[in-house]
Chains A and B, each alone.
Chain A
């Protein structure tokens, strides 16, 4: 069965202190790995899609990378407004219709 595990569960950073969030996955035939940002009480906001090992995507202070078993979301010089929960999801490799989400990493950036 497809599974997604995110670590750490929670992360506190000082403003400007770079770090990485991890998403490890098991899936029968990856059809895409997705990163979302979710603020409290809101729906997830799409950030990146990665399809194959070695692929990288960047947006502002965020950079997502993908290997055959895991993905990293690197946050460079974070600001307080980057505080949110970051969710990782994989697309089911059999039917391609279901997304499996991890439980997320709650990031707090302290000024």
Chain B
């Protein structure tokens, strides 16, 4: 257990529905990252927060995806109008600024039917 938690661990939804995932980072970590991972691939960067500010988003991130970190603690990732291609593991990672290694949560497995 790295201290990063994610909820839910699994989500099955129908195409077109909206879903929201939550990530609770290690408490003293000010940086938080979201990744997407599909089978046989490494994690793919989606977006990054420093405290409550979203500082970077992947060019690949569809406008159906939005993320927030309202008080610089937990974060949510919302996917609107889900598509079958959104099926993947969504990973959250946190980092203490300057330490450079990221600690990952267990992930949320999304299946879009």
Contact = CB atoms under 8 A, between A and B. Distances in A.
Given A91-B100, A99-B33, A42 B44 contact: no
B40 to A, nearest CB: 7
B2 interface: yes
Interface string A27-45: 0000110101000011111
Nearest to B6: A43
B105 A43 contact: yes
A99 B43 CA distance: 9
Contacts of B15: none
A25 interface: no
Interface core residue of A91, A99, A102, A104 (most chain B CB under 10 Å): A99
Contacts of A45: 2, 104
Contacts of A36: 104
Contacts of A26: none
A51 B4 CA distance: 25
Interface residues of A, number: 24
B2 A101 contact: no
Interface in B49-79: 55-56, 58
Interface in A1-54: 4, 31-32, 34, 36, 41-46, 49
Contacts of B33: 99
B6 to A, nearest CB: 8
7 contacts: A32-B100, A34-B100, A34-B102, A44-B43, A46-B101, A97-B56, A98-B58
Interface of A: 4, 31-32, 34, 36, 41-46, 49, 87, 89, 91, 95, 97-104
Interface of B: 2, 4, 33, 40-45, 48, 55-56, 58, 91, 93, 100-107, 109
